[in-house]
Each structure stands twice: as C-alpha cells, then as structure tokens.
Amino acid sequence: MEGSHPSSPALGSGLRALASVEQLRETPMRLGMNTVKILVADDHDIIRRGLKQLLTSRPGWEVCGEAKTGREAVALVEQLKPEIVVMDISMPDLNGLEAARRIHKSFPKIGILILSLHFSDQLVRDIVEAGARAYIMKSDADRDLVSAVEALANHRTFFTSRAAEMLLNGFANNNSVPDPEAHLRNRLTSREREIVQLLAEGKSSKEVAVALGISVKTAETHRANIMRKLEMHSVSEVVRYAVKNQIIEA
C-alpha cells in the first residue's frame, strides 16, 4: 500500500491506496494463466535461491533473472522487462532504494517489492518515496512473499501490518515524529547518494571514478559536495551515516 506525505506526489497517491489496507490481503489473483515475470535481487546466493523456490511454486510465475547488486538489477530490468522486481534493500554497489528509484523512474508500471531485515518509520517513508509498492520483512518472507507478489501482480500494494498502520496513522494525520536527518538526506542528488554508498563501502575517489565512469576530479568534487551537504568532515562520519540509514549493512 502506497503511503503518503502531503509534500510528496509519490506518497500522495499512496494514501488513497492505503484506504483498502484490510481488503488487500484477501484479494484473489485474477491473472488466469498469464505468466508473471519476476526479477529477484539479493547479494546472498542462499536467500535468492529461497526466494526463487517460493516464487516458482506458484503456477505461471517465472523468475526471469537474478541480480546480486542494485546496479545489476537496474540493468536486468532494462534487458528483461519483468512485471515485478523482488529486491533486498541492502546490496553492495547500489542499494535497493536507489535501484528502486531508477527502476520506477524508467518503468513506473513495474511492481517493486522491497525486503528488509529491519523496520523503521523513516525506512517505510523512503521505500514508498522510492516508488516501491510493497514491503515485507525478510523474517516474514515465508508467510508474506507470495501474497505480496500476488498483490503487485493485481496492481495493488502490500505492506506489513505494522508498516500499513504507520502509513495510515502517521501520514494521514501528519503526526509522525520528524526525522532530524531528513533535511540532510534531501539535499543529496541521486548521484551523490550513490557515491555515499561507494565511499561508505571503502572505495577511494579513484575507485569511485572507475565504478561510475567519471573522472577522478569529478569524483572528488562530488565527495566534497557530499561532505558539505551532510555537514560531515571525515569518511568515518559518512560510514556511520550510511549504516544508520541502511545504505550499507554494519
């Protein structure tokens, strides 16, 4: 269920969908024998295998591709054109949120399901704002994965009950606790958020330049701008920021 913050168009449409939160889980699949192409993205092989096993247990569902990083997921979406992407939020090179933003921008009709080990109000906001229409905890995948994909395949949304309640009560009433770092995050461009992750993963300016196909000077300029916008003075501060905001895993 897409949630919504009054100032965000992406979230605005979510509130209307959230009105049917209780009916969502009972929606039957209406796809007949149509094949549903699903892309799975997670950097752990064993988790990808488990997700694939759950998904392919349903007649007509096909896992058309697998990705280990967010960047791979974006490239495979462009190549394979799946109907649904099931994606971990914490992946190297490009995290699930940034990948979701890119996929949603280029292919807004693709249903995106985000998986996470952790829960927070701000994380749910970020997921919805990134364009994902479904979110479940990894610990609940056995119970919720199939239902979430069914919902997306039927052009509906699916969030855990805790996230749905937060979206309804928090966003609808605009009374959720403000995030003190939100104004800092919103200062960063998509490219800068991408570089934050690479820096937090320990890459040098030269390695960032090679990874992104830009000059070392441009990478260093981005790095300086990131430090200024986040009001930070060292890479260790960037690492702590990245861990706190689930850009990388601790």
Nearest to 171 by CA among 18, 23, 49, 5: 5
pLDDT beyond 50 at 194: yes
User: pLDDT tens, 115-126?
Assistant: 998 887 778 888
Q: Which is more confidently placed, 90 or 67?
A: 67
The pLDDT of residue 190 = 83
The pLDDT of residue 113 = 97
Calculate the alpha carbon distances from 125 to 53, 74, 135, 137 in Å.
30, 21, 11, 15
Least confident of 7-21, 52-66, 103-117, 198-212: 7-21
> In the structure, what pLDDT confidence band is assigned to residue 185 with cuts at 50, 70 and 90?
low
**Per the structure block, which two tokens stand in for 106?**
């280029």
Highest mean pLDDT of the ranges 4-13, 153-162, 212-221 = 212-221
The pLDDT of residue 7 = 45
Q: Which is more confidently placed, 18 or 157?
A: 157
Cβ contact 104:88 at 8 Å: no
User: pLDDT tens, 42-85?
Assistant: 999 999 999 999 999 999 999 999 999 999 999 999 999 999 99
Average pLDDT, the chain: 81
pLDDT beyond 60 at 179: no
Query: Per-residue pLDDT averaged across 173-184, rounded?
Result: 54
Q: Which long-range contacts (CB under 8 A, 24 or more apart) does 20-29 make?
A: 20/156, 21/159, 21/164, 21/168, 24/151, 24/156, 24/157, 24/158, 25/147, 25/151, 25/158, 27/150, 27/151, 27/154, 27/156, 29/150, 29/153, 29/154
